[in-house]
Each structure stands twice: as structure tokens, then as C-alpha cells.
Structure 1
């Protein structure tokens, strides 16, 4: 089977139902399928081996993902926030592609790579114009790679994670009821198109026949206004977004949110203070914490609405603690906690999270990460309690997750060590109410050097890396802890920030 089947079923069942709202324009499911078939023609004409998107969320993303599926080529949305050099390198890895989005930037950084480039409006218009006559085309898209997403490259060059049609359909068909949404149901999508959560939200909404409402650029005010204007019933946010929404409401921002029945969140650690306040501010909404990865086609564990409300209202500390959990594995997923030696651990024993199931790809263009029995090592550390609730206890590879963005401590340390007064450096995650995690830096001063100012150190990082990498907290220590093998013990450093 192929992802295009989801849109074909939706268009056949309800061709005149509104399936997408973006920038005030409404698209029916029938019109979306027509445009996807027109996009197929454009892809065929371009001889592209990939369809890439370098743009914010829009109707072009929906048309492109299903057009690529019909054409049997991978859809590859790119992170438009990347620096030019990094983006040019990724574009070079998918040449030749039909690239939709920022024409000026693509021509400036990748003009010699053989791409066909179209602006968003041009692609959308030409896809509508190129719709073939009914029954004049037979589509045989195949069952290969549906989506290719580049990892954040926190420790090395970004890996190309691939999701096959079978992986994504395994997730959708196993978790979503076809045509299960009422015609009035609508989902507000604000996650960037290059994030697996945005892709899964799109696919699940199409299959359930839910109206998709896109908000390309997030602000809490715009989010709340759109909830009221479009009578939104479902929404997905990352923790930093929910924190800003809560703050806006606490500052007096008003909005009619009476239609909002379900709020899902994921992509990073949710601060307990934020989720508790959100449960107070949205008493009629069901909250769901969704834990998943790119390599697993999105969600593998859920903490559902009943669990949220029970934990929020309970006086039992063990039940209260579930608000900080990831919930339980979904029925189509097997999940284990393993030790470093590969032993399967019991309740409340921390180790690495492994998952297995039809939706789990665990595959990269470079190689597969699955073991011989199909298990995928998530590189997340966690444990299952006695009742089967999954708790995240850290990142197995010490990656800092700030607002859903993965960051390598090593790249931050390398910049800090460029300062002449710094002899040793350790970057690690520290708790942040706004971002879930932020960057902390523990520094050792070179003997005989003066103590540098924190402003100078932050300016140094900002000049070399993106602003999200700038340390929020800086401490100075006499020495950093290492084990007998010379490995930096980051967990011990983290303790120093809580002292």
C-alpha cells in the first residue's frame, strides 16, 4: 500500500468536505486529491528523484507529500532554519529534486546541483492546472520510501532517516479510525513541516476526515485567535508552545476555547508546572502526552486524558507522578528497557528504551539501526514503573533537547574552548520552565587567566552557533569529573547546577 491511499479514501468518502484551511483559503478533500494528481504530473516532468519542501506549513506541503507518494519518490521536507552551508549540503544529498519554497535562497546556495525549483504559489497553481482528465492516468506508486527526514546532526553529519509507506500506514491504520471525525471537527497544526509530528498529524487527520487548519508561524495570540475563529476541536503543541499559551492566558489574553476538546503535546520534556496550570486553564480539554521519534513514524507511547485528570486530582504521590510520565506503549508497539549489556530490565530499573513494531523503521540511508530481531534502540534512557507507565530519565547520548530541538553538547563545548581563558568545558541540559531543557555550561579557568565575563562567553557562542545554543546558566568549577577511561561524567556535572 501507499500513503496516497489515505487521501484517495478521504476524497472518495467525502469529496466536498473541507479538508484544509490555510491563510483563509479552504480546500475540499476532492480538490486536494486533484492537486496531488497534478503534482504527480509536475514531478514526472521534472525527472526528480525527491520532492523537497523548504518552506513553512502551507497547502503546498499537503499537495507535495501526496503528490510524491503518487509518483513513488520520497518526500523530503527540509529545516529552513538551518544555516546556508548546512542546508546546501543536505540539498546536495538529494539531487536532483523538485524543491518547493524559497527560490532565492536555493538559487544562491545550490544553483549547481541540478534541482527544479518552484516557489510555493507557483507549485500550487501549476499542480491545479496540471490535473489530468479523469481516468486518463493509472497510478502505480509502489511501496518503497515515502518520507526522508534528516536528523538534527547533533553528533555528526545529519543522517537520512527513511520511513517507508508500510511504516507510516502501520501507524495510521493501527491507531486512527477511518472517517471517525465529525464534519465540524478540526485540527490546528502548528508544528513545522519537517518534524515527524507535523507529518503524522497531517496523515491522521486526512484518514479520519478531520479538517486541518494550519498556522504557519506560531504565537500564543495567533494560536488562541485561530482556536476561536475556526472552532478548533483538536490541537498539537510542543511544550514550549504550551508554556507560552499558558503565560498569555495568565496575562489576561482572552479567547473562546470552548470547542477545544483535545490537546496533544510532545517533542520534549513538559515542565510539571506548565501541564498542571494548563489542566486548570483548559478544564474541558483532554490532554495527551505523545512520545515518539522520527524513526518510529511518530507516537509509540501515550499518556491519555483520563490519566492526566486522575493524576492531577489524586492525593497519591505515585499517581501524581504519572503527570511526568510518557504514559503506556500503544497497542501496536512492543517496548523494553535494556541495560548496557542488553539485559531486559524490570520495573523501576533505568536503562535504554527499545521499541519494535510495524511502524518502526529504524532505518537510515546509511544503514539500519534495527537489531536482528527488529528492535530499535531509541537512545533515550528511561524506565517502566510497576504499572507499566514509561518515564524518561534522560538522553542516552546526553543530547540537550531545548523546545523539541536536539543540540549536541560537544559543539557548544568546542566553541567555549576557543576562549583563551577556558581550559575545560562541559555543556549539559538544565531544567527550563519555558524550554523544557536549556543549556548549562560548567567551565574550568586556565591557570593564570582572569575570570571571563558571562556576557563575553555567551557572545562567543552566539557568534559561532545559533542563538538556541547560548548557555542560559554558567558556572565555574575547579575541575570536571572524568571516569577511569577518560569519559566526562555529565550527570555529575548536572548535579552542580542544582546545588
Structure 2
């Protein structure tokens, strides 16, 4: 099965269904399909081997996904927040690309590439172009996404048509949306969630409302005016939405489900959101670029059960990412590759048709049995709930003892004076690495460092107590909420 078939099915089932809303643009599935055929014609006639897009998305995201698929050419949305040098470096790694660029980023792309088109001009030309519509080989690469590069040089992840469509068909029922259902999409186009938002909502028959540049007040307004029923946000977005609703209480009666993911969400924020929006079903979705998006989900029922539980073993599942989605197998292994017992920590391995595990220039990193090493440290409890502890690269080794930053962060973030916290290891002549807690205080609070250290010591062993506590106004993070620990360590080292 190919990506092209998803749009073919949607447009054949109901060509008058509103597919995309962005600013003043409203486009039906039939119109999207027709425009994608014309856009595919432009791509095919260019002779390009790849399509790159530099921009904020909106209508361009689903259009380019399906147009590239119908031209049988891979598609890569580029992180437009990078510097001009960073954008050039990523595009240069793509073979003979056609670069589509939003007007505001045209100067950053410059004249370094032989095929560059303004996004508005591309759309206008697609309306009059000779249509092309072909079905690619399901095992051909459909999407290439660059990882965030928070711990190393960004890798180019190759996702085939089969990877992506197996995820969609395994987790979404075709045409399952109710009439009037609408999804608000504000995740960046270059993130795997931004790609699959276009695929899954179209397949379900749900109107897609795009907010290309996130603003919490505008998000709340769109939920109300477009009668949005479902939305996906990253932790920083959820934090800002909650702040807006606290400041200006607004009823959101249409909102049925709110998914969050991309990085770990502090439990106090989750509990506050659950209390503030008691009629909304919250979903914690965990996945990776290499797995074509979500591989585990904490459902709305799981949230409510854990939120209201008296049993600590049940209540702590609010901090889990739930259970694997259909078609996904998971294992937690020790350093020797042995599967550990429930409740024991190790590296998470995943397997399934949606799992790619393949990088341009590197090849597949799947083992002989098809398992992908996520590099995430995890725990599976006895009931099959998955807890993500952090990246193996982030482990702090203090005095020969391995310490996961999340152990300390999960304690500190519960302190009433702490809004956000990141724990990192910095070089230390005595211990090898020292534990430093970087804290963003709650507004108007001035916590005492020693009190915070004592707060940790009461819960964890003394060896896990931060050696230092420093304060910042904010933490450096990617647009999807992943903390840039390398930046924090570099900043601390320069002090």
C-alpha cells in the first residue's frame, strides 16, 4: 500500500468533505487530490530525485506529501528554524532536490540549489500543470526526516510507503470520524507527528485545521471557532495553553481528545490540565521518527484511572506512555542483550511493520530479528505499561554509579516552587561527573538551593542529590519540547 492510496480513498469516498483549513483557505478532499496531481506533474517534469520543503506547513504539508508520493519521489520537510547554514547543510544531503520554499525563507535558501520554487508560485503552477498520478513501490522511500540532532549530527531517517501506511491502517479506521470532527494541527511539518497528522486525519475523514505558527491564544480561539474535536501538542505548547486558560478561562465544549507527546511532560502539568479540562480525553503518545510515529499510547481511560487511583502502583502510571499500539512488539534489554524482568530498567527495543530503523548513508540498524534499538532507557511494569526513563546518552556517571536524570527531575518538579527542571552531568575531578539541577522557578517564587537539595535527599539516595542547583528563566529546547542538554552543559561549563 502507498501513501497515494490514502488520498485516493478519501477523495473517492467523499470529494466534498472539507480536508484542509488554513487561514482563508478551505479545501475539499477532491480539490486536494486534483491539486496534488498537478503538483506531481511539476515535480515529475523537473527531473528532481527528491522534494525538499522549507516553510511552516499549512496546506503545503499535505499537498507536498501526496504530490511527491504521486510523482514517486521522496519528500523531506526541513527545519525552517535552523540558520541558513544549517538549512543548506541538510538540503545538500538530499539527492538532486527540488526545493519548495515559503516566501519568508527564500533569502535563507538563496541560490545554492539549481531547482528552487516559491511556495505560492508552486501552488499556482500546480493548478494548470499536466497531472501525474502513479503508485510507487510500497517498499520505496516516501519520506525522509532529519532527526533533531540533540545529541549528535542529525541522521536522515528513511520511511517507506509501507512503514507509514502500516501505521495508519493499524491505528486508524478508514472514515471513522464523525461528521463535523476537526483536528487542530500545530506541530512542525518537519516532525514525524506533522507528517502523520496529515495522513491519519485524512484517512479518518477528519477536517484538518492548521495553525502553522503556534500561539496559545490563537490555539484556544481556533478550538472554539472551528469546533475542534481533537488536537495534538508538545509539552511546551501544553504548558502555554494551560497558562492561557488559567488567565482567561474559556469553555472548549467541542474538544474531545487532546494528545501530547514529543518529549516528557511534567506530572504536575498533566494533573493541572486534567483538572482544568475534566471532559477532555487526554492521550500520551510516544514514538520516534524511526518508528513512523506512535508506538505506545496512554489512553484517556488510563489517564483517569491513574489520576484518581489511591494505589500508588496504579497512580504512577500517569507518568507512563501506556501500552504498545497494535502491530508493535517491545522488549526491555540489559547491556548484555538479555530481556529484563518487569520493573527492571534497560534499553527499549521495538519491532513491527511501521518500524524503519534505516538511515541514509548508514543503512538499517535493525538486528537479525528485526528489532530496533531506540537508545531510550525504559521500564515495563507487570501490567505492560511502558515508562520512558530517558536517553542512554544522557546517563550521568557519578563515582561509578549510573544515574538517569529523570530520577532526579521527577522528584524536583513536584516541589511547589519548581516549574521546570533539567538535570545534567558536568565534568568533576573528584566524582567523574557532578549532578547539576537547572531549575526554572514558578512565577514569583525564589526557591532556596539547599532546600531543593534536601527535598531530593528525602526521596532518593544521597548519591542522587544534586551537587549544585542553578536557576534559569527558561530551558533551551527544540520546538517539540526536547531539552537541549548539550546546550545546558556547554553553558554551565563556560560559567
TM-score tier, shorter chain, comes to 0.7 to 0.9
Task: Kindly state the Cα deviation for residue 443 of structure 1 after the two structures are TM-superposed.
Answer: 6.5
Query: Residue 235 of structure 1 aligns to a residue in which SS?
Result: strand
Question: Is the Cα–Cα contact under 8 Å of residues 88 and 110 in structure 1 kept in the other structure?
Answer: no
In structure 2, distance between residues paired with 1:281 and 1:172: 31
Indicate whether 1:122 and 2:118 are aligned. Answer: no
Task: Kindly state the Cα deviation for residue 219 of structure 1 after the two structures are TM-superposed.
Answer: 1.6
Q: Which residue of 2 aligns with 1:28?
A: 28
Question: Is the Cα–Cα contact under 8 Å of residues 239 and 435 in structure 1 kept in the other structure?
Answer: no
- Report matched runs for 1:317-332 at 5 Å: 317-332=312-327
**More deviation in 171-180 or 150-159?**
150-159
Over 3 Å counting, the alpha-carbon distance change for 1:494 and 1:330 in structure 2 is farther
Report the count of equivalent residues.
Answer: 428
Indicate whether 1:191 and 2:169 are aligned. Answer: no
In structure 1, distance between residues paired with 2:352 and 2:420: 29
Question: Is the Cα–Cα contact under 8 Å of residues 69 and 135 in structure 2 kept in the other structure?
Answer: no
Structure 2 spans left out of the alignment, 5+ residues: 397-403, 430-446, 450-461, 471-495
- Report matched runs for 1:21-170 at 5 Å: 21-102=21-102, 105=105, 109=109, 111-114=111-114, 116-130=115-129, 132=131, 139-143=134-138, 144-170=140-166
**More deviation in 156-165 or 429-438?**
429-438
Indicate whether 1:311 and 2:313 are aligned. Answer: no
Over 3 Å counting, the alpha-carbon distance change for 1:287 and 1:428 in structure 2 is closer
Indicate whether 1:302 and 2:301 are aligned. Answer: no
Q: Which residue of 2 aligns with 1:371?
A: 367
Task: Kindly state the Cα deviation for residue 48 of structure 1 after the two structures are TM-superposed.
Answer: 1.0
Over 3 Å counting, the alpha-carbon distance change for 1:129 and 1:2 in structure 2 is same
Indicate whether 1:362 and 2:357 are aligned. Answer: yes
Query: Residue 30 of structure 1 aligns to a residue in which SS?
Result: helix
- Report matched runs for 1:65-464 at 5 Å: 65-102=65-102, 105=105, 109=109, 111-114=111-114, 116-130=115-129, 132=131, 139-143=134-138, 144-251=140-247, 253-366=248-361, 367-398=363-394, 431=409, 438=422, 440=424, 442=426
In structure 2, distance between residues paired with 1:234 and 1:498: 39
Over 3 Å counting, the alpha-carbon distance change for 1:26 and 1:354 in structure 2 is same
Task: Kindly state the Cα deviation for residue 31 of structure 1 after the two structures are TM-superposed.
Answer: 0.3
Q: Which residue of 2 aligns with 1:482?
A: none
In structure 1, distance between residues paired with 2:276 and 2:108: 47
Task: Kindly state the Cα deviation for residue 274 of structure 1 after the two structures are TM-superposed.
Answer: 0.6
In structure 1, distance between residues paired with 2:32 and 2:57: 15
| CA deviation string 1:171-201 (max 9, x = no partner) | 0011100000012000000000000011111
In structure 2, distance between residues paired with 1:215 and 1:280: 26
In structure 1, distance between residues paired with 2:108 and 2:241: 37
Task: Kindly state the Cα deviation for residue 396 of structure 1 after the two structures are TM-superposed.
Answer: 1.1
Query: Residue 38 of structure 1 aligns to a residue in which SS?
Result: helix
Task: Kindly state the Cα deviation for residue 436 of structure 1 after the two structures are TM-superposed.
Answer: 6.3
Question: Is the Cα–Cα contact under 8 Å of residues 61 and 195 in structure 2 kept in the other structure?
Answer: no
Question: Is the Cα–Cα contact under 8 Å of residues 103 and 117 in structure 1 kept in the other structure?
Answer: no
Indicate whether 1:496 and 2:467 are aligned. Answer: yes
Task: Kindly state the Cα deviation for residue 387 of structure 1 after the two structures are TM-superposed.
Answer: 0.9
In structure 2, distance between residues paired with 1:345 and 1:274: 31
| CA deviation string 1:144-177 (max 9, x = no partner) | 0010001123344321100000000110011100
Over 3 Å counting, the alpha-carbon distance change for 1:344 and 1:110 in structure 2 is farther
Task: Kindly state the Cα deviation for residue 53 of structure 1 after the two structures are TM-superposed.
Answer: 1.0
Question: Is the Cα–Cα contact under 8 Å of residues 225 and 255 in structure 1 kept in the other structure?
Answer: no
Over 3 Å counting, the alpha-carbon distance change for 1:222 and 1:185 in structure 2 is same
Question: Is the Cα–Cα contact under 8 Å of residues 38 and 129 in structure 2 kept in the other structure?
Answer: yes
Over 3 Å counting, the alpha-carbon distance change for 1:171 and 1:159 in structure 2 is same
Structure 1 spans left out of the alignment, 5+ residues: 401-426, 446-472, 476-490
Query: Residue 394 of structure 2 aligns to a residue in which SS?
Result: coil
Task: Kindly state the Cα deviation for residue 444 of structure 1 after the two structures are TM-superposed.
Answer: 5.9
